[in-house]
Amino acid sequence: MNRLPRREVDWFSLASILFLLTFAPLIVYYFIMSCAQYQCSLTAPLLDSLMGNKHLSDIWNRTPTLTYRAAGIYSLWVTFQVVLYMSFPDFCHKFLPGYVGGVQEGAVTPAGVVNKYQINGLQAWIITHVLWFANASFLHLFSPTIIFDNWIPLLWCANILGYAVSTFAMIKGYFFPTNAKDCKFTGNFFYDYMMGIEFNPRIGKWFDFKLFFNGRPGIVAWTLINLSFAAKQQELHGEVTNSMILVNVLQGIYVLDFFWNEAWYLKTIDICHDHFGWYLGWGDCVWLPYLYTLQGLYLVYHPVQLCTAHALGVLVLGLLGYYIFRATNHQKDLFRRTNGNCRIWGRRPEYIECSYTSVDGTKYHSKLMTSGFWGWARHFNYTGDLMGSLAYCLACGFEHLLPYFYITYMAILLIHRCLRDEHRCSSKYGKDWERYTAAVPYRLLPGVF
Ligand code: NDP
């Protein structure tokens, strides 16, 4: 079979991968357990076990196990999302002006394939949330606190799915890949398991692993999880605090933005460059729904009521971050879609012409924009994302470290992504990339980094 060239795995990458495969599940468990058993204190469990007050087995024994109820809820949830994804072609684009849904094309893969996607995430999100509110208001089939009440048993279910899908993706990559020419093998089991072999694994014509797992069980769930946390806060403390509302609203905007722009997501690094392995499979099933929602979980245990100035500060930072994130992404999208024939901030965009050669030897031409937000820094979209992420954390006050995990993680993720992307672009565009970095010298913050 004709496949992508084999890639050598250096020791640093291998060590990082082994570290993540071992510790990422433990990190998620530690955070969730800290909230359930130590009121979200990150240091208390460590101190307790170091000082001999508790054995690790005591902590483990107090952890809820997998239950039939959680397994039932989770299976129903994933099945429902599969049905929404596979059986309901998008109708939102027919009546929502400006929304791009229905069948859309992704970018050209390294082997020259252009995949088609059924973009119906917004519809899935709307249907899911309408049903959630219908249940909470008048159907009363289950309590809106259901997610919080089963949070740790659901964690085991999410892990089972995360590992199952990553293992299945690896086996599939070896034995029945969707497109053998787009498979990447290093020969290192751990690297291939983590970073993935297949580029766009699919079952049948339409079930795309990347689009489904990133968007559906993970991101559709994000806003439901936050709503469940708000309901639990109401049940326990008799009110929903302004901090909880801020977290729900700001993260809700981010989630809705993702689905509104799902067609744009087809052009992001996740879809265009990453292969599907444990990093995406387990990450989408476990890491994202459990760690991106830590602020809401924290606020159930610590109902913070912010003063007006603090709440306003968080709101302004969150909205400004969101504006920068969206506007920067939109500028690149418009620029690339129109091949530079558009206006950015009222002017014709400036850009650098560049070229690259694909694995089959075909030469392609491309453009790198050097005006608008893309003239300020090479990844100003990440800067906006980081501002928004900081706002969610600041909504939780300053009493504990746990809510600040998100900004710490996002900073590491996006700086690493910045370096990874630049390494890739530099190999892709060579001298043209050097001309671009000379024209736009900073990555995230003009004058600083
Ligand atoms: P980008 O959307 O920034 O895409 C990077 C790619 O864009 C490059 O590989 C290059 O691709 C092209 N490009 C780079 N510079 C230019 C330029 N000046 N003009 C035109 N094209 C350019 O990165 P991501 O896909 O990582 O991120 C998309 C968004 O998703 C970001 O806003 C990010 O913050 C967000 N995100 C959020 C995450 C979360 O967990 N919340 C995780 C990851 C991302 P090419 O090869 O086509 O030239």
75-129 pLDDT per residue, tens: 999 999 999 999 999 999 999 999 999 999 988 888 888 889 999 999 999 999 9
Kindly report the protein residue whose alpha carbon is nearest to atom 16 of ligand 1.
368
425 lines ligand 1 (CB under 6 A): yes
What is the average pLDDT value for the chain, to the nearest integer? 93
Spatial contact of 211 and 117, defined as CB atoms under 8 Å apart? yes
- Average pLDDT of the residues in 132-144: 96
> Left, alpha or beta for 199 (phi > 0: left; psi -120 to 50: alpha)?
alpha
Q: What is the pLDDT of residue 1?
A: 43
Pocket test residue of 222, 258, 264, 268 for ligand 1, highest count of atoms within 8 A of CB: 268
259 lines ligand 1 (CB under 6 A): no
Pocket test residue of 358, 385, 390, 432 for ligand 1, highest count of atoms within 8 A of CB: 385
Q: What is the pLDDT of residue 3?
A: 55
Spatial contact of 123 and 91, defined as CB atoms under 8 Å apart? yes
- Average pLDDT of the residues in 38-66: 93
DSSP 170-229: HHHHHHS-S-GGG----S-HHHHHHH-S-SS-EETTTEEHHHHHIIIIIIIHHHHHHHHH
For the chain, the distance separating the N- and C-terminal CA atoms, rounded to the nearest angstrom, is 43
Pocket test residue of 222, 223, 368, 422 for ligand 1, highest count of atoms within 8 A of CB: 368
369-414 pLDDT per residue, tens: 999 999 999 999 999 999 999 999 999 999 999 999 999 999 999 9
Q: Could you tell me the distance, in angstroms and rounded to a whole number, from the CA of residue 268 to the centre of ligand 1? A: 5
Q: Could you tell me the distance, in angstroms and rounded to a whole number, from the CA of residue 269 to the centre of ligand 1? A: 6
Q: Could you tell me the distance, in angstroms and rounded to a whole number, from the CA of residue 418 to the centre of ligand 1? A: 9
325 lines ligand 1 (CB under 6 A): yes
374 lines ligand 1 (CB under 6 A): yes
Tokens of 374: 């893309």
Tokens of 56: 């690790």
211-242 pLDDT per residue, tens: 999 888 889 999 999 999 999 999 999 999 99
Q: What is the pLDDT of residue 113?
A: 83
pLDDT band of 203, cuts 50, 70, 90: very high
Percentage above 70 pLDDT, the chain: 98
Kindly report the protein residue whose alpha carbon is nearest to atom 4 of ligand 1.
268
29 lines ligand 1 (CB under 6 A): no
Spatial contact of 322 and 388, defined as CB atoms under 8 Å apart? yes
140 vs 270, which has greater pLDDT? 140
Q: Could you tell me the distance, in angstroms and rounded to a whole number, from the CA of residue 265 to the centre of ligand 1? A: 10
List the single range of 183-192, 281-290, 356-365 with lowest mean pLDDT: 356-365
Measured between alpha carbons, how far is 302 from 50 in angstroms, rounded to an integer?
Answer: 25
* Measured CA distances, 379 to 348, 385, 414 (Å): 20, 10, 9
Contacts of 213 (CB under 8 A, 6+ apart): 165, 280, 281, 284, 285
Kindly report the protein residue whose alpha carbon is nearest to atom 17 of ligand 1.
368
Spatial contact of 198 and 278, defined as CB atoms under 8 Å apart? no
421 lines ligand 1 (CB under 6 A): yes
Atom of ligand 1 at shortest distance to CA of 370?
A: 18
Q: Could you tell me the distance, in angstroms and rounded to a whole number, from the CA of residue 271 to the centre of ligand 1? A: 11
Estimate the share of the chain in helix, then strand, then coil, as percent rounded to the nearest 5.
65, 5, 30
Kindly report the protein residue whose alpha carbon is nearest to atom 34 of ligand 1.
382
316-353 pLDDT per residue, tens: 999 999 999 999 999 998 999 899 899 999 999 999 99
